[in-house]
Amino acid sequence: MKDPFTDRALQIYEDAKTQIRYVASRFRQKVVRDGGLVAAKHWLRPSKATAGFQRLLDHDRLDLSVEAVAIQAAWSGLFTPAELATARERLALFGYFTRPSTPPTTSTRLSPDELEFADGVNYPEGDKTRITVNAYERNPEARRKCIQHYGAVCYVCDFNFADIYGALGQGYIHVHHLTPFAETTGPRRTDPVSDLRPVCPNCHSMLHRQYPPIPIAVLKQIIRNS
């Protein structure tokens, strides 16, 4: 007999796939194999957040996590107080319950330092043709919409250029693609809210210190632990 949480867990998988294009294959396999409730209890053990949880955090969609669903009134009765405490603590650690709002900006400026290269390696300065090719025809409107939604404040460290540089820094920010262009072939459609994040140049550089880029959730944790 299928446990009562299985259908809800499979809906989490479908929502993540359709809404943010995150295909959590291992998540689905475990739910189908063990049942949704058994799988959820496995993930709610007192340990560090899973890679899937961090992917959802990168997309600002922790509402799609097992943790967020488990604490809902409709499902909380299926879990022990310890499991619910783990869920709440994990969500609180990553700001699920309180995320400060940031003012929007109309800036559409794009820094040349934001170019990403197909193989993750910087090319010699002056190679204009090569750099132009690797610009991937980014859409400035997608950038504008991203900043309009999140504000010109670093999504990783909350740095705001206007706080330090005044009018000169107003609206200045880099925009980071959660999925690098190098991982896709040909043109693609970019959702400015689910696919992009505003980041300061320092955090943007740190995200690209390795390839594929470091997940935003991991960089946030590095900052917290430093």
End-to-end CA distance of the chain: 48
In the chain, domain spans: 6-93, 112-225
> Does the global pTM surpass 0.75?
no
Q: List beta partners, residue 197.
A: 176
Using CA atoms, how far residue 198 sits from 111, 160, 176, 187, in Å, is 12, 11, 6, 22
Q: Would you write out the chain's pLDDT as a tens digit for each of its 226 residues?
A: 567 899 999 999 999 988 888 889 999 999 999 999 999 999 999 887 787 887 888 777 889 999 999 999 999 999 999 999 999 999 887 778 865 444 444 444 444 444 444 455 555 555 555 544 444 456 788 889 999 988 999 999 999 999 999 999 999 999 998 877 655 556 667 788 878 899 999 999 999 998 878 888 888 888 988 8
Sign (positive or negative) of CA dihedral 176, 182, 183, 185 = positive
User: Please, how many CA atoms are within 13 Å of residue 54, restricted to the half-sphere of its CB?
Assistant: 12
